[in-house]
A and B are shown apart, each in its own frame.
Chain A
Amino acid sequence: MSHHIVAVKNLRHVYPDGTEALRDVSFRIHHGESVAIIGANGAGKSTLLLHLNGYLAPTSGEIQIGDFPLNKGTLPQIRRTVGMVFQDPDDQLFMPTVYDDVAFGPLNLGLSGGDLDRCVIEALERVGARHLVEKAPYHLSGGEKRRVAVATVLSMSPDILVLDEPTNGLDPYSRRQLIALLKEFRHTRIFTSHDLDMVLDLCERTIVLKDGEVRADGPTLEIFQDRELLEECRLEKPLSLQGCPVCGTRR
């Protein structure tokens, strides 16, 4: 089952203006794992994610997705394998209707007619957004937008899902709904987030980035118990692990 593996080796990235966003990042994510990449603002999370589907090319180092090393030749295959959900759903949903948006990827993969319809409807049903199919994206609520954004990626049946700040800006109910939805997926999942409670809910493993390097990599619960590590990386224990403000007891 090597085809769902994500392997990053000594990745370094320097932006044209000289900023060194990633110094030396290495990790390996296996099939079916659910991994969170956390870190302070500017730690290099977004830069790292943009490498995973080849939007940015490494300055040095290697990336392997499944059986393929990431390079120009394997790019189309890798973009099919890695489904990426962006932070702002308004960037992801650029077509006039939800249908067109979910169909965008499959159309580019060469689907048409009944196959296309089936694929779009299936993806929408999986995120519970079947009823939104003819709506325009700007008439959707924040939670609906996010779920449709996930559907636009599911419709290409990727093996690996990459989500950038999925719960950002959602109300508590929509956030719950989304987390429940993401829990059901059996894909290899990679998240970045500042919502550490969500990380605790969804990911068994966490990678902490600091100044472009991997500061820690291990089971989520262990990392969240390490107060010094969290403070050093400008992070905080998830609220659900902190003491109750009323009765003062710790979980």
Chain B
Amino acid sequence: MHAALSDVVFDLFQNSIEAGAMNIGVSFWETADEIHFSVTDDGRGMDFEGLKRAEDPFGSDGTKHPGRRVGLGIPFLRQTAEQTGGRVEIDSVPGKGTRIEAVFPAAHLDLPPEGNLVLLWLQCLTFGGDYQLKIHRMCRESDGRVEEYRIDKAEISEALGGLEDTNTVGLLREFLESMEEPFNK
């Protein structure tokens, strides 16, 4: 199992990249009793057999490492859901894309911590490649108050003139920290 939920999300994001996705959406929402995240992409998608392989820890599509017989990304997600009483939904259409959604009970003792979301977004935004990415982060308190932000890779990249060099990535981190700050109160 991954040590933090942010690691699970990044693993799914990485799958989208490896599926050749050009448009990726990532959401991470919290309410008083649930944590919800989703990763949606327009990558190559999977048919029923492909989905079965993705769910099997001893299965891999074998394109990257011929001869390798292990693939743990989705099984880690499944494991996290099973041990916390959460749920996972995967919709995938070959040639169209994949949507993975997971919901976990926030108070469950075995739920991994959220992890560092600033670093997660930084990793997703600067992975390298022409893909577009839209991020939605939201928190709804029990009194109904909502804190949220949206990040669009195209807008950020335009404002910073690229997302490559360490200076822009440093500024991007400051930007993301300012976005995430209200959530830590």
Whether both chains belong to one complex is answered with no
